[in-house]
Amino acid sequence: MCGRFVSRTEAAMERSWDLIRPPVPFESYNVAPTRSVPVIRVGENGRECVLARWGLIPTWAKDRAIGYKTFNARLETAASKPVFRAAFKRRRCVFPVVGFYEWRRAGKSKQPMFIHAASGAQLALAGLWDRWVDASSGEVVESAAILTTAANAFMRAIHDRMPVILSDAQIAPWLARAEVQVGDTAGDGHDEEPGADVLCLGPCAEEMLAAYPVSARVNNARNDDPSNIEPLLADPASV
């Protein structure tokens, strides 16, 4: 799963997104579910970066409570699961992130790890979004979920799931709602040419990622500053 991440629109704009307008400034080193975060989607006039509540609330939901447990969508079932089905087909987005946190078991405790691109580039996480209207107040809430997949060999040492990380070549077809084929094994994110109009998604190549242990301060979402991603001097699992 993916339950915390780091997002900075200033850093995200290092990638060319061809947005129709500059994004709203945003910076957080400890994004937790229910927070409004930047996502990139295709709007009526082109690509736009908007804020969406992390935790997808489907259009048909009676209330927003469902969003507390829908911040992740499994790639293997999102196309058929009622809560995500319509969004998977028609409302896709990308979460631009600096990196994400996952907790690795270390003895009787869990050690938070910060996972990021080995190259230092930003990561593009595949996401889904939806629009819900509060029947009592008329408030319009846009929300989103991160797609997850089985862990690749690198991530399995930390957790059995990971976000679906899009390559540069996969971003456009993902946003254009290309047909998706789920990859069977961890690799480079694609199988042998599935077809010109088919996007094969799965775990990214293991050499794409790097990770290091960070302070347990990230366990509390109220701790939100750059020190969260400073490496620990010693990895608890190695001492």
* Separation CA 224–CA 115 (nearest Å): 17
pLDDT above 60 (res 13): yes
* Domain annotation covers residue 60: yes
* Domain annotation covers residue 161: no
CATH of the domain at 54: 3.90.1680.10
Average pLDDT over residues 169-177: 96
Report pLDDT digits (tens) over 32-91.
999 999 999 999 999 999 999 999 999 999 999 999 999 999 999 999 999 999 999 999
DSSP-derived secondary structure for 171-225: HHHHHTT-EEEE-SSSSSS--S---TTEEEE-PPPGGGEEEEEB-GGGGSTT--S
| Whether the Cβ atoms of residue 8 and residue 97 lie closer than 8 Å to each other | no
pLDDT at 16: 79
* Domain annotation covers residue 20: yes
pLDDT band at 234 (very low <50, low <70, confident <90, very high): low
Rounded percentage of the chain residues whose pLDDT exceeds 70? 92
Q: Which of 105-109, 115-119, 178-182, 204-208 has the lowest mean pLDDT?
A: 105-109
* Separation CA 114–CA 98 (nearest Å): 10
Residues annotated catalytic, as ranges? 2, 102
pLDDT band at 183 (very low <50, low <70, confident <90, very high): confident
Domain with 74, as residue range(s), is 4-147+209-220
* Domain annotation covers residue 227: no
pLDDT at 143: 99
Domain count, the chain: 1
* Domain annotation covers residue 230: no
pTM of the model: 0.91
Residue 46 sits at φ, ψ, to 5 deg, of 135, -170
